[in-house]
Amino acid sequence: MKQAAQTMNSLGKEKTPFLFIIDFAMQKPVVIPLSKIDPKKILFAINGISNAEKHKSITKKLVFNFTPVSKQTYCKAFKKVQFHLGRGNTFLLNLTMPAKAESNFSLKDIFYSSNARYKLWMKNQLVVFSPEIFVKIEKGVISSYPMKGTMDASVAGAEQKLLASKKELAEHYTIVDLIRNDLSMVAYEVNVTRFRYIDRLKTHKGELLQMSSEISGKLPPNYHENIGNILMTLLPAGSISGAPKRKTVEIIREAEGYDRGYYTGIFGLFDGTNLDSGVMIRYIEQSDEELTYKSGGGITANSICEEEYQELIDKIYVPIA
């Protein structure tokens, strides 16, 4: 990761546009100047900026099936997390699990057909269609938008129930505090500029409500020269790890028992002036001909295993209406 950070610093100093892709463990970072990206191997679409050419529309209807881990397997990991929560080793932990998946769409089909702020396709490896911003830098202001709180929009009074949930409120306060502290390590005058706003996400299973907040701070004028250092300081993303971050990541490895890989890492674009990046959630991985969908959610001391298991399942979707 040190070499990747130095490369980003160098490109930032030169104001050379580049794409970066960083895995959860920060062991396999990819940093490529935009002029050197091969679209046969990597496609990206980041809030309207993309290297993807126009693609013929796909007329077939999406078929997407999945088999999540058993409730027994999930609850076994959940109990490990609760053990550490009870001892104060962590206050919030994002617990994730892999699910087997099948689809009549290729990963590239899903890239072109899905609707999301942040999309990434890596040939024979993965596709991401994420709604979650990691950080944005615009005119010297760095902003993060942690996403915590999901509910099926078809539930009666869904928005009010989501906002009234004590569990979701506690989780949201924790993550906002964590991100505020993270940004304070690289920026000054850090403030919560929006607290708990709700977006609606259309998926092949229906509509979901997703709750987020916005935290912003100011960067020094020469931040371009330190883009890699800034990102490395902020990683892993707080919304998909937890608090306190270092100990929580240790517990994640113990409880999950699988390799997240690029799932819950980040990817983004520096355009020569500003930076935009997303968290690699809503993620399908390919190994040979097998597909794996990875999903999860935040666990607190007030979490109930059955509810968290259902949230894990609710987040297995493709945003194709």
Which residue in 144, 105, 145 sits closest to 127, CA to CA? 105
- Say if residues 191 and 214 touch (Cβ distance below 8 Å): no
Structure confidence at residue 209 (pLDDT) = 80
In 3D, which of 217, 235, 226 has the Cα closest to residue 280? 235
Comparison of pLDDT for 288 and 97, the residue scoring more: 97
Top-confidence residue, 166 or 250 = 250
pTM given for the model: 0.90
What's the mean pLDDT when you consider all of the chain?
92
Does 205 have pLDDT greater than 80? no
**Cα–Cα distance, 45 to 110 (Å, whole number):** 13
Each residue of 60-99: pLDDT tens digit? 899 999 999 999 999 999 999 999 999 999 999 999 999 9
* Straight-line distance from the first to the last Cα atom of the chain, in angstroms, rounded to the nearest whole number: 38
Residue 158's pLDDT band, with cuts at 50, 70 and 90, is confident
- What domains lie within the chain, and their CATH numbers? 2-314 (3.60.120.10)
Cα–Cα distance measured from residue 67 to residue 77, given in angstroms and rounded to the nearest whole number: 18
Asked if 300 contacts 42 with a C-beta cutoff of 8 angstroms, the reply is no
Residue 211 — very low, low, confident or very high, per pLDDT cuts 50/70/90? confident
| pLDDT tens track for 121-157 | 999 999 999 988 999 999 999 999 887 777 777 888 8
| Band of pLDDT at residue 167, cut at 50, 70 and 90 | confident
Model confidence at 321: pLDDT above 70 = no
